[in-house]
Amino acid sequence: MTVLLVALGAAVGAPLRYLVDRAVQSRHDTVFPWGTLTVNTVGSMILGFLAAAPVSGPVMTLLGTGFCGALTTYSTFGYETVRLVRDGATTYAVLNALGSVAAGLGAAWCGMAVALALAP
């Protein structure tokens, strides 16, 4: 059952990641990976919310592991940062690395704060 929940969450998260990434990136005429930054930040906020909310194990498996795991993408973040360095866009690479970590941590904290504020 656990594997099925992960797969179901991922079946929604992965295509959504692709669609959001492409939609965001198509609106920016730059090599900076705005799409990946967006999905990783949103996924961090959702996961932060789930971590602080009183959700059951199966809900966390479906949404936290499956959906957020497929929505966010550390491998693409790493690849895009290395690609920026390789292409000579070192400033963008540094901004991407620092900005992604800061945005992800900040978004997770905000998600947790919202969950705790909504808790009875």
Q: Is 72 annotated as a binding residue?
A: yes
Q: Which two tokens stand for residue 20?
A: 């959001």
Count the domains in the chain. 1
From the CB of residue 86, how many other CB atoms can be counted at a distance below 10 Å?
Answer: 10
What pLDDT, in 10s, does the model give residues 12-45?
A: 999 999 999 999 999 999 999 999 999 999 999 9
What pLDDT, in 10s, does the model give residues 50-99?
A: 999 999 999 999 999 999 999 999 999 999 999 999 999 999 999 999 99
C-alpha atoms less than 13 angstroms from C-alpha of 105 in its C-beta half-sphere: 5
Say how far apart CA 89 and CA 32 lie, in whole Å: 9
Residue 22 domain boundaries: 2-118
Q: What is the pLDDT of residue 119?
A: 87
* Residue pair 39/68 in contact by the 8 Å Cβ criterion: no
Q: Which two tokens stand for residue 102?
A: 């800061």
Residue with tokens 């920026």: 84
DSSP state letters, 18-32: HHHHHHHHTT--SSS
Say how far apart CA 79 and CA 11 lie, in whole Å: 23
Q: Is 69 annotated as a binding residue?
A: yes
